[in-house]
Amino acid sequence: MNSPLATELAFHRLLTAVGQAPSVLNTQPWRLKAVRGEFAELLADPDRRLRISDPRGRSLHISCGAALFNLRLAVRTASHRPMIWLLPNKAEEPRLLAAVRMSASEPAPLPTRELYECIGLRRTNREPFSERRVPEHVLTDLRQAAAREGAGLVVLDRSASADLLEYVAIADEELSKDGDYQAELRAWTMSGSRHDGLPSYVQGPGCADDPAPVRDFGTHRGPGPVHFESRPQLAVLTTAGDSPAFWLRAGQALQRVLLTAAAYGVSASFLNQPLDLRDMRRRSDPRHRCGHPQMIVRLGYGPVVPRAPRRPVAGLQETVSAWRTHPRSASRWTPS
């Protein structure tokens, strides 16, 4: 079986999968490199880092972790098994987030193929959701999806969801007074002919509810504010630690959760303003017994929505400058 790196067409398939991952403000802060037909390297694109809202690079790592999960699926569905090294050479190459070696294997099992097929179907949905509740068996599968990647998914009850929405509103109010934050937000939510960012057609309508279960980016289509679901279902993605390796794992867990949700027809959007504020203010994280919060996710059943714009696949590829040997370290694992 030919390697997924053997031909330009095969590598294009990997690039396409990586490019469809979710990312903070649709910044798509990643690049992919093929090294001598043996390794694929996932690198951060520092020009796409949010300097104000993401000073630690946490959101960038989570975004790239989601792209890494898509890469894993693309490799596995090409009848190869990916072996991963996270942060294999952090001291000498801080942009290098993961190295992926591929070995021939049996065909991917059906659940893996189904997740791969959902890559192109997944959308961030900022529209009103129906009042239909996500059933418990689906929530259980979403929790298990996070757990398979070494993360937790804490699904909140009605009272905890209401409390968190209030906290989101407070954080949003504080962030609205930060001129640098608002300028950075506007830079990535401008309309026009672009391949990244969040144009108005993916931002959803204005929300007439207080507190709002969706983020207000300031530009809306449609006649005016509308009402959203009366009982938003919220979940918090958590990790045991709070460092770059854990952020990468959080991104992989997030994407497994989102693709599993998409397979069930469940929509998702994000309310990460409290996490942005925490990062910006360098505030200590009052660790919950379930772990460090990394993403706040709204779940439900929404209408079909368009996909956010994507960078051209050719722009995601990084050329090889030199052969690099990757250390065999404790960060290595072979995903299923």
Q: What is the DSSP string of 254-322?
A: HHHHHHHHHHTT-EEEE--HHHHHHHHTT-----BTTBEEEEEEEEE-----PPPP---GGGGB----S
Axis crossing angle, helix 8-19 with helix 58-76, rounded to the nearest 10? 140
| 331: its two tokens | 């960060």
**What confidence category does residue 287 fall into, taking pLDDT thresholds of 50, 70 and 90?**
low
Distance CA 165, CA 171 (A): 10
User: Is 70 exceeded by the pLDDT of residue 318?
Assistant: yes
User: Is 70 exceeded by the pLDDT of residue 51?
Assistant: yes
Distance CA 172, CA 166 (A): 10
User: Is 60 exceeded by the pLDDT of residue 332?
Assistant: no
Task: Express each pLDDT in 56-98 by its tens digit.
Answer: 999 999 999 999 999 999 999 999 999 999 999 988 999 999 9
**What confidence category does residue 328 fall into, taking pLDDT thresholds of 50, 70 and 90?**
very low
Residue with tokens 């796409």: 48
Q: 13, exposed or middle or buried, with CB in 10 Å at 0-12, 13-18, 19+?
A: middle
Query: Hey, what domains does the chain have and what are their CATH numbers?
Result: 8-120+315-333 (3.40.109.10), 136-300 (3.40.109.10)
Distance CA 140, CA 260 (A): 11
Q: Report the side by side order of strands in the sheet with 152-155.
A: 152-155, 233-239, 292-300, 267-270
Give the residue, 220 or 133, on which the prediction is more confident.
133
For the chain, count helices (H), then strands (E): 8, 9
DSSP SS3 for 125: coil
Average pLDDT of the chain, as a whole number: 92
Whether pTM exceeds 0.75: yes
Closest by CA to 123, choosing from 299, 311, 308, is: 308
Q: What is the DSSP string of 17-82?
A: HHHTS--GGG---EEEEEETTTEEEEEE-GGGS-TTT-TTSHHHHHHHHHHHHHHHHHHHTTTEEE
| CA-based R_g, the chain, Å | 19
pLDDT given at position 257: 99
- Let me know: does 217 contact 191? Beta carbons within 8 Å: no
- Let me know: does 294 contact 276? Beta carbons within 8 Å: no
Strands 152-155 and 267-270: unpaired
**What confidence category does residue 288 fall into, taking pLDDT thresholds of 50, 70 and 90?**
low
- Let me know: does 21 contact 63? Beta carbons within 8 Å: yes
Among positive and negative, which fits the CA dihedral 14, 20, 21, 26? Answer: positive
pLDDT given at position 221: 63
pLDDT given at position 320: 59
Percentage of the chain lying above the pLDDT 90 cut: 84
pLDDT given at position 37: 81
Task: Express each pLDDT in 9-19 by its tens digit.
Answer: 999 999 999 99
The dihedrals phi and psi of 236, each to the nearest 5 degrees, come to: -120, 125
pLDDT given at position 289: 73
E strands within 118-176? Answer: 152-155
User: Is 50 exceeded by the pLDDT of residue 330?
Assistant: no
Closest by CA to 137, choosing from 128, 145, 129, is: 145
Distance CA 294, CA 235 (A): 11
